[in-house]
């Protein structure tokens, strides 16, 4: 297993005091890694920091052995990193097709139509909605547009911030199944999730953060079995 992303002793904030402090974890090539933790723990800040959207106060992030902590977000996209933010992740007035097209601007794929076909193969629900404004889609379909847009630049690392927020349990399962399909295309996924139990079931590794710091990391199965994690984040009982 090779390390694709190495986060080391990362401290960052938004201009004031540090929001995350000394965070360290590795993401392995072609795995699904999940970030868990309570509201306000700094999960989104970790994702935003990897994507160069915060002020880094210390530590480093390496992608494939290259330090990226000092790179601009637009450069990261050309290096194979793509992200879906927690909210406002589609342009509601633009059609599905236009949203997908925007995903190609920062790092155009070799063959845009071929990439679009692969993405519509992954998300067939979008095929009959291509000319519809994305704001008219259901929440789950909008998430597919957002993830599809992020895949249009053919990333090696996909950062997702709560891809199943607000979705019904059935739709949540569909999105997770789709993410397993995305992983099969060679993409490494690092995602924040509130649906901890289901996320750990599909995750290779999980990283729990509390108050901006590492709390516990382990394989999905290890965290599902951990009493501390069960009591604090999984509602107690073993599944
Ligand atoms: N743009 C910002 N400017 C200043 N402080 C921010 C900003 N975004 C987040 N914070 C602060 O950073 C802390 C961590 O926020 P963050 O969004 O990373 O948490 P989170 O774990 O993603 O929470 P949630 O589960 O609610 O999404 C919070 O105290 C928040 O107020
Ligand atoms: Mg968040």
Minimum CA distance residue for ligand 1 atom 14:
42
For the stretch 24-33, pLDDT in tens is: 999 999 999 9
Domain annotation for the chain: domains and CATH numbers = 3-233 (3.40.50.300)
User: From ligand 1's centre to the CA of 14, what distance in Å?
Assistant: 9
Q: How far apart are CA 218 and CA 212, in angstroms?
A: 18
Q: Note residues around ion ligand 2 (Cβ under 5 angstroms).
A: 43-44, 86
Mutation test residue for ligand 1: of 45, 46, 212, the one with most atoms within 8 Å of CB: 45
> Which ligand 1 atom is the nearest neighbour of the CA of 192?
22
User: From ligand 1's centre to the CA of 54, what distance in Å?
Assistant: 11
User: From ligand 2's centre to the CA of 44, what distance in Å?
Assistant: 4
The predicted structure's pLDDT at residue 166? 86
Helices 139-151 and 169-184 cross at an angle (nearest 10°) of 10
The predicted structure's pLDDT at residue 161? 97
For residue 146 the two structure tokens come to 């957002």
Helix, strand or coil for residue 195? coil
On whether the CB atoms of residues 189 and 33 are closer than 8 A, the answer is yes
Confidence at 186, pLDDT banded by 50, 70, 90: very high
- Work out the burial of residue 108: count CB atoms within 10 Å of its CB; fewer than 13 is exposed, 13-18 middle, 19 or more buried: middle
In sign, the C-alpha dihedral spanning 179, 70, 63, 114 is positive
Minimum CA distance residue for ligand 1 atom 9:
45
Residues in the chain: 239
DSSP output for 65-110:
TEE-TTS-HHHHHHTTEEEE-SS--S-TTSBHHHHHHHTTSSS--S
Confidence at 109, pLDDT banded by 50, 70, 90: confident
Q: Which ligand is nearest to the CA of 194?
A: 1
For the stretch 5-19, pLDDT in tens is: 999 999 999 999 999
Is the CB of 49 within 6 Å of ligand 1?
no
On whether the CB atoms of residues 20 and 206 are closer than 8 A, the answer is no
Is the CB of 13 within 6 Å of ligand 1?
no
Which candidate, 69, 112, 101, 103, places its Cα nearest to that of 84? 103
Helix, strand or coil for residue 33? strand
Confidence at 101, pLDDT banded by 50, 70, 90: very high
The CA-CA-CA angle for residues 86, 90, 96, to 5°, reads: 145
Is the CB of 164 within 6 Å of ligand 1?
no
The predicted structure's pLDDT at residue 237? 60
Confidence at 184, pLDDT banded by 50, 70, 90: very high
Distance of CA 182 to the CA centre of its chain: 12
């Amino acid at each position: 297993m090779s390390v694709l992303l190495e986060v080391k002793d990362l401290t960052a904030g938004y201009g004031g005091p540090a929001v995350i402090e000394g965070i360290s974890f590795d993401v392995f090539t072609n795995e699904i890694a999940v970030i868990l933790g309570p509201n306000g723990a700094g999960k989104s800040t970790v994702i935003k920091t990897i994507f160069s959207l915060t002020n880094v106060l210390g530590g480093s992030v390496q992608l494939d052995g290259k330090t990226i902590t000092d790179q601009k977000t637009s450069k990261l996209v050309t290096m194979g990193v793509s992200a879906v933010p927690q909210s406002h992740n589609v342009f509601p007035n633009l059609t599905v097709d236009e949203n997908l097209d925007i995903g190609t601007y920062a790092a155009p794929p070799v063959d845009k139509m071929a990439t679009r076909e692969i993405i519509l193969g992954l998300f067939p629900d979008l095929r009959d909605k291509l000319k519809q404004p994305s704001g008219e889609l259901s929440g789950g379909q909008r998430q597919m547009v957002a993830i599809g847009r992020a895949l249009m630049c053919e990333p090696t690392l996909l950062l997702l911030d709560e891809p199943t927020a607000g979705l019904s349990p059935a739709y949540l399962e569909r999105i997770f199944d789709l993410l397993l399909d995305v992983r099969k295309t060679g993409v490494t996924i690092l995602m924040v999730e509130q649906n901890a139990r289901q996320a750990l079931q599909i995750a290779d590794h999980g990283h729990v953060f509390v108050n901006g710091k590492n709390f516990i990391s382990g394989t999905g199965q290890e965290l599902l079995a951990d009493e501390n994690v069960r009591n604090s984040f999984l509602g107690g009982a073993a599944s």
